Each structure stands twice: as C-alpha cells, then as structure tokens.
Amino acid sequence: MLQLAIEQNITPARRAALDGTFVAAAASRRQLANEERLEQRRRIVQAALDRSLTEEERPAWLANTLHGLLQQKETYHLANEILQQRLEQNQRRRSCKRKPPEKVLVSLTDPESALGRDKFSVFRPLYNVQLMCDLDSPLVL
C-alpha cells in the first residue's frame, strides 16, 4: 500500500510520527490469577472433563458444555505458559525490583494482554497500540 501511495504521489514517505497509547483489552479486570489460583482452576476444569465433579462442587464460572470446557482448558493452558514466562522475567529482575511470586498475575479471559494501569489509574488488562502517521499526507502508515 505504501509503494502504491508513493507511485501516485500521495506521499514521499520520508517523515513519520510515532504515537502510542494503551487501550483496555476485552478482558475482565476481575479475572486475574496468580500461579496458585490458576492451578486450582485448571484442576477444576480437568475434574469436570473427567466427570468427577458433583453439581454442588461445580463453580458458576465453569463451562456447561464439553466444547466450552475444552476451550477453558486451552485458555488456561495458554495462561499458564504466559504466567511462567512472567515469573521467569520477574525472577531475573534485581531483588529490589522483584515482585513476590503471588503478585505476578495473568488475565484468565485474555492471557496475552499486558497488565497495568490505564488512563484512569485502573489496574486492568491492556494492549499497547502504536500508530505511525505520515507527516506529509493523511496516511496512517
């Protein structure tokens, strides 16, 4: 697209400005888990798949269908991988900058989102959006 814009003299594509912001992820800020809570949820999902849960033991957040349970299992597996990476990164920090392991969190509904404070100082899952705008035309590069 950029080559086409250059060929049609819409832009020389020589100057651009980079701007970024954090936007809220489509994830609940109340569904954050540390390693212990995530492992507990993974055990419950596995017990439901093994059909060893009674109706009284079934939490409200647990999916009702086999497809839903398999999806939860996959999401929690991804969340566990990301949480392990975050724990390793945390461990590599200097001791004065290191968080206690129980304070390292991951979103259960969108594990890939970063956690931080938004513009209103609310701690939640976020995505860092970067835009590069051409300074000589109305193009967003």
3-state DSSP assignment of residue 63: coil
Q: Quick one: pLDDT band at residue 2, thresholds 50, 70, 90?
A: confident
Give pLDDT, residue 119.
87
How far is it, in rounded angstroms, from Cα 74 to Cα 81?
A: 11
| The predicted structure's pLDDT at residue 40 | 97
| Residue ranges per structural domain of the chain | 1-25+113-141, 31-108
Which pLDDT score, from 0 to 100, does residue 54 have? Answer: 87
Hey, which bits of 13-52 come out as E strands?
16-24, 32-33
pLDDT at site 112: 93
User: Confidence class of residue 1 from pLDDT cuts 50, 70 and 90?
Assistant: confident
Dump pLDDT digits (tens) for 81-140.
999 999 999 999 999 999 999 999 999 999 999 999 988 999 999 999 999 999 988 888
Q: How far apart are CA 125 and CA 26, in angstroms?
A: 8
Tens digits of residue pLDDT in 11-67 = 888 899 999 888 999 898 888 999 999 999 999 999 999 999 888 889 999 999 999
Grouping H, G, I as helix, E, B as strand and the rest as coil, residue 47 is: helix
pLDDT value of position 141 = 76
pLDDT value at position 55?
87
